[in-house]
Amino acid sequence: MHPNRVVLVTGAARRIGARIATHLHARGADVAIHCRHSVEQAQALVARLNAVRADSARAFEADLSRASAGERLVQSAGDWHGRIDALVNNASTFLRTPLGSVDESLWASIVDGNLKAAFFTSQAAAPWLRAARGAIVNVTDARAERPLAGFSAYAAAKAGLVALTRALALELAPEVRVNAVAPGSLDWPEHDVFTEAEQRAIEAAIPLQRIGTGEDVARAVAFLLDDADYVTGHILHVDGGASLVSR
């Protein structure tokens, strides 16, 4: 990451987003760290990064299920240093949603938290990114193409994010490149989405014989931002080869 570049990372207070922000910061970027509820974690991360390099990180709180909040987030992040060079749409809502259990509110929370947030944040950031000849990386999921039973709303939202990546790559070219990383199974969520038996079965089916980490995803994001100048509209699977295995 080139020095003095500003990267806005959504959902960056914890887990994958925090690893992405930390990795990009270590490569020289100033990072705008978005959070929704995890304000204390975001502020702690900002303090750690600013201890390394003064005024190189700042936290921004926003509920990206509302388009207007995404617009305000982008404006505030851009005003911080007068630029936005890259956007990483990592904010996500991941829940098990067996068919028959989903009401309109639950559907909206999952689709809005994954797809709507990325669309309106990207739309608001587009003028900044065009001016900087920057890039967008969306964090989708390998299960957008190979969904798990019981996660239909999440799979639909992430599949929409894949389509959005390709559509924006066309619409924002040639000034802005738009790509996505598609992680497979990563460090298991803190809430009990999967049983222990399901976790063991998922891990056993990964050719590289381990689940991924936030650092694996962060390195892929950095590659697409910094080292892939002739790549746009691409979905990079970061799944240990799991998408190669037939079920």
**pLDDT score recorded for residue 2:** 58
List 13, 153, 154, 217, catalytic entry:
154
**pLDDT score recorded for residue 65:** 93
Grouping H, G, I as helix, E, B as strand and the rest as coil, residue 224 is helix
pLDDT (tens digit per residue) in 117-132: 999 999 999 999 999 9
pTM of the full structure: 0.93
Active site annotation includes 230: no
pLDDT (tens digit per residue) in 157-196: 999 999 999 999 999 999 999 999 999 877 665 556 667 7
With 0-12 / 13-18 / 19 or more C-beta atoms within 10 angstroms meaning exposed / middle / buried, residue 240 is: buried
Residue 55 CB-half CA count within 13 A: 4
**pLDDT score recorded for residue 1:** 53
Low-confidence ranges of the chain (pLDDT < 70): 1-3, 187-194, 246-247
6-244 is a CATH 3.40.50.720 domain? yes
**pLDDT score recorded for residue 53:** 97
| Domain assignments of the chain as residue spans, ordered by start | 6-244
Angle 164-95-203 from CA coordinates, rounded to 5°? 90
